[in-house]
Amino acid sequence: MKASLIIDKDFKVAEVDKRIYGSFIEHLGRAVYGGIYEPGHPAADKNGFRLDVIKLIKELGVSIIRYPGGNFVSAYNWEDGVGPKENRPVRMELAWRDLETNEFGTNEFAEWSALADTEIMMAVNLGTRGADAARNLVEYCNHSGGTYYSDLRKSHGVEQPHNIKLWCLGNEMDGPWQMGAKTADDYALLARETAKMMKGVDPTIELIVCGGCVWDFPGLKNWDETVLDQTYDYVDYIAKHQYFNSCMEDDATFLAQTMRMDNLIKTTAALCRFVKGKFRKQKDIHISFDEWNAWYIDDEVEGDGINWKTAPARLENEFTLRDALLVGSILITLLKNSDTVKIACLAQLVNVIAPIMTQDGGDAWKQTIFYPFLHAAKYGRGTVMGTVVNSPVYDCENIGDVPYLDCTVVHNQEKDELVVFALNRSLDDEIIIDCNFRGFEGVTLIEHTELYSDDLKAVNTINADAVVPQSANSTDPAQIVLKKHSWNVIRLGVS
Ligand code: AHR
């Protein structure tokens, strides 16, 4: 089938904020213990940090990592995870119903992040704790010294403050599954007062307030507006989370799910503007899409509450090519909305619904979804361009017309490159795209990389990589050919 793509040098959406290439590590399953931290592993350093995993995270190009949860944070006492390890308590962790040893905590994560070359996005507990614990944590992490909590940090052997700039005011506080879930009114007031106190301790930090994550739950429909009404002056971003259930059988419908994500982003951005207008504000609130991914969602995710285990395997999904195509489409959606989405986190990073898997005591390897993320993080730098895309469509229940061609274009001025990210949603046909580069001179093809297999269910395992990027056959930048159900990165030289 045929499609067309028009790019005009003067039509720009926004600069890409590198924080959209973020990810997430929660104290859940083997994400921390056995994932990034495994003392005694042959590849671990003196702190127990697995250097083989860090190498893969660097290759992936992750910019910022959200920590320590997730559902975990809503019943977490940050004080349990600092100070001498021998004094740290073992707790019954209620979100996932496992034992938390607290061997790894805030200072370990900060040290690990520096080694992994990633920034920190720290979440505070607004489930079972509140403003006081949150402001103390900011003081512990960010104040230079001479106060109770900054000196406590120093007494724990950490002389320099961590200077964490980005903080989440709790996690999914509308979710009935959340420890200490709140009504919109209760959360809005708590978030406002917590924000006031956290910024009182460090006015340079930025704050993310929890947006609603339960769409159809009665009584929670006005969550975002209620929360923004109360917190507009104190926060900088509103959080959105969305997972797409990989158990869905219909391939065409699964690959259309990002149309729902686009709608969620646009309606949230519209609501932010509405509240801005309502209160005649100057500043904008942007979106932090701080959990997204494909996920084989079934019911049995938590412990049984009888056999309490430490770091058991949980949510260790094996991702297919089809999941990688959806992840590519999610990244396109985030890029296309880069005027409103400034932060985004692939949830999660290691072992738990993750692009990187590890074996206890053994190897680390890349899942299929590793590749589209790597491509976007590496080549999706610069300015997202406005595009006109004409593509045949298919009809999808509850969504409507879905274009077979999903794509976006990023102009990297420093490298004189235009990069086209494109998904062909067709399960049967290739797409030939007629490209019109208005205002760009001397367009040349640098490389066309594709992620493809005949089998949409193909996976990568510790022993074999069935889904890896390959060089595609395109030679003409004006006529790009996309294989059926494939993810593509086309790098073009421009002057
Ligand atoms: O990423 C797994 C879980 O999904 C997170 O803990 C929670 O925030 C979300 O519901």
pLDDT digits (tens, 9 = 90+) for 228-237: 999 999 999 9
The two beta strands, 393-396 and 64-67, are: unpaired
Of the chain, the percentage scoring pLDDT greater than 70 comes to: 98
Q: Of 379, 398, 428, at which residue does a domain stop?
A: 379
Same domain, 57 and 171: yes
Q: Do the beta carbons of residue 256 and residue 399 sit within 8 Å?
A: yes
Asked whether residue 32 falls in the same domain as residue 151, the answer is: yes
Q: With a cut of 90, say whether residue 299 has pLDDT above it.
A: no
Cα separation values, 221 from 79, 178, 214, 227, 386, Å? 35, 17, 8, 11, 32
- Index of the ligand 1 atom closest to the CA of residue 213: 10
Closest C-alpha residue for ligand 1 atom 2: 70
25 CA distance to ligand 1 middle (Å)? 10
pLDDT tens digits along 144-186: 999 999 999 999 999 999 999 999 999 999 999 999 999 999 9
Does 344 share its domain with 452? no
pLDDT in tens, 446-476: 999 999 999 999 999 999 999 999 999 888 9
Domain end among 357, 379, 401:
379
**What mean pLDDT is predicted for residues 309-327?**
97
**Domain containing 63: what range?**
17-379
Q: Distance between CA 113 and CA 130 in Å, rounded?
A: 26
- Average pLDDT on 317-321 reads 97
Triad 241, 245, 248: Cα angle to 5°: 155
Residue at which a domain ends, from 326, 360, 379: 379
Residue 473: per-residue pLDDT: 83
302 & 169 share domain: yes
Q: Which atom of ligand 1 is nearest to 26's Cα?
A: 6
Atom 8 (ligand 1) nearest CA:
70
Q: How many helices (H) and strands (E) does the chain have?
A: 10, 23
Q: What percent of the chain has pLDDT over 90?
A: 95
- Averaged pLDDT of the chain: 96
Contact yes or no for 480/434 (Cβ under 8 A): no
Contact (CB, 8 A) for 95 and 69: yes
Question: Each residue of 192-201: pLDDT tens digit?
Answer: 999 999 999 9
Pocket of ligand 1 (CB under 6 A): 26, 69-71, 171-172, 291, 347-348
Question: Measuring CA to CA, which residue among 172, 289, 188 is closest to residue 238?
Answer: 289
Could you tell me if 162 and 295 lie in one domain?
yes
Contact 123, 138 (CB under 8 A): no
Active site (annotated) includes residue 79: no
Q: Are residues 369 and 406 in the same domain?
A: no
448: CA distance to ligand 1 center in Å?
35
- List pLDDT tens digits, range 98-121: 999 999 999 999 999 999 999 999
> Are 126 and 263 part of one and the same domain?
yes
At 398 the pLDDT is 87
Instruction: Judge whether residue 217 has pLDDT over 60.
Output: no
Q: What is the DSSP letter of 79?
A: G
| pLDDT for res 104 | 98
Catalytic residue among 38, 93, 291, 450: 291
The candidate with the shortest Cα–Cα distance to 342, out of 274, 285, 401, 426, is 285
Same domain, 125 and 256: yes
The whole-number pLDDT of residue 235 equals 98
To the query of whether residue 193 is one of the catalytic residues in this protein, the response is no
Question: Residue 424's domain is classified under what CATH number?
Answer: 2.60.40.1180
Angstrom distance (rounded) from CA 191 to CA 410: 36
Which pLDDT tens digit goes with each residue over 336-393? 999 999 999 999 999 999 999 999 999 999 999 999 999 999 999 999 999 999 999 9
Q: Please tell me the total count of domains within the chain.
A: 2
214 and 69, same domain (yes or no): yes
Query: What's 127's domain CATH number?
Result: 3.20.20.80
